[in-house]
Amino acid sequence: MVTTSELLKKKSQHQDIGLDDGKINEYLTALDGWTLQEGKVVKAFGFKNYYRTLAFVNAIAYVIHAEDHHPELVVTYNRCVVKFDTHSVNGGRGGISENDFICAAKVDAIFQTSVS
C-alpha cells in the first residue's frame, strides 16, 4: 500500500494510462480528506480570510508548476477547492493517474505548513 511519505518523494511524469478503481481507492486511503468526485480527486481547504486563501494558492502554484500538473482551483473568500485529474490518460479522454495523488500529497503538505 502506498503512503503519503512515498508520494511526497515522487515527481509527476507524463502518464498515458489511468488508474483503475481499486488503485484509486488505495491511493485515496493514503491521503486525508481527499475524495473522488465527478472523475476528479478533490479536497476543500478552509482559511481565516482571503489573504490566507490567496497565500495558499500562491504557494501551491509554485509546486504544481514545478510538477507540471495543474489542478482546477475554485477560490472564494476563505476557501479553496482543489480538483486534480489527468487529461492525457485514456487516449486523451482523461482520468486519474498517480500524478494526481503525488500533487495532492504535496498540496496537503503546503496546507499543513500554512496553518501551523
Q: For the chain, which residues make up each domain, given as ranges?
A: 15-114
Q: How do residues 93-107 score in pLDDT, each as one tens digit?
A: 889 999 999 999 999
pLDDT for 94 equals 85
pLDDT for 115 equals 67
| 82, pLDDT greater than 60 | yes
* Mean pLDDT taken over the chain: 94
DSSP code, position 35: E
pLDDT for 91 equals 79
Q: How do residues 12-44 score in pLDDT, each as one tens digit?
A: 999 889 999 999 999 999 999 999 999 999 999
The CA distance from 82 to 59, in Å, is 13
Pick the CATH number of 15-114 from 3.60.130.10, 3.30.1360.20, 3.30.160.60, 3.40.50.300: 3.30.1360.20
- Which contiguous run of DSSP H or E holds residue 89? none
**Which residue type sits at 90?**
N
The CA distance from 94 to 88, in Å, is 6
